Amino acid sequence: EPEVTQTPSHQVTQMGQEVILRCVPISNHLYFYWYRQILGQKVEFLVSFYNNEISEKSEIFDDQFSVERPDGSNFTLKIRSTKLEDSAMYFCASQTGLGDQETQYFGPGTRLLVL
Amino acid sequence: AQSVTQPDIHITVSEGASLELRCNYSYGATPYLFWYVQSPGQGLQLLLKYFSGDTLVQGIKGFEAEFKRSQSCFNLRKPSVHWSDAAEYFCAVGLSNSGYALNFGKGTSLLVTP
């Protein structure tokens, strides 16, 4: 069964450094999402992406964040200058379309630790 | 304000006992409703979803959920819990006019005792 994959599984970085989290959505999916889960808290929506542009973003997704689909298969989340509070599990998700019965399939996550 | 509430942070049940996890939502329109499960160190797996139609929805692993519009709830049930069901359970809602960005509840941690 097709899966969403994410790399790396864990990343440790120093505050102020840039990080890029990578996701490979399911191949025939057109809508892509990033969510994050700070330890012990709920999963929070960051951004959705369709047709090479952001379709919606939350207030968390500020100018330090950006997303890109550089090559038709990868979907990346970049944090330009990491802060301690960016430490979280980051989940990528994808779905086929926006019709009824659509489901978001989640990747296993990347655990980011900012020191 | 739009919200998703899972009133129980932790629930402990004995193996073989029945389970009900509560989820309440507050939205102007009927949202799309989901239950996801997260095992330790794992990603989110979809258990079941409700879009329309029959209000009793069957999912994987023997789970079911019932949408009750009058009570704005979508509780998850299982008649007999197995030790492998110990995990974190998240209720989520999505709105078609927001690109289905999911709004998650805070989760309920399920512990299964022998």
Q: Give me the residue spans of the domains in chain A.
A: 5-114
* Cβ within 8 Å, pair A108-B43: yes
Domain total of chain B: 1
3-class state of residue A84 by DSSP: helix
Residue A99 pLDDT class (50, 70, 90 cuts):
low
* Cβ within 8 Å, pair A48-B104: no
Residue B1 pLDDT class (50, 70, 90 cuts):
low
Find all residues with CB under 8 Å of A40, minimum gap 6, and list them: none
Contact B112, B23 (CB under 8 A): no
Closest residue by Cα to residue B72 from B37, B33, B98? B33
CATH code at position B83: 2.60.40.10
Domain of residue B32: give its range.
Answer: 3-113
- The stretch A12-37 carries a mean pLDDT of 95
Q: Would an 8 Å CB–CB cutoff place A7 in contact with chain B?
A: no
Q: Which CATH superfamily is domain A5-114 in?
A: Immunoglobulins (2.60.40.10)
Closest residue by Cα to residue A34 from A14, A18, A20? A20
Which residue matches tokens 């379309």?
A97
B interface toward A at CB cutoff 8 Å?
Answer: 34, 36, 42-46, 49, 51-52, 90, 92, 94, 96, 98-107
In this predicted model, what pLDDT tens digit does every residue of A19-31 receive, in sequence order?
999 999 998 898 9
* Chain pair A-B, CB pairs under 8 angstroms: 58
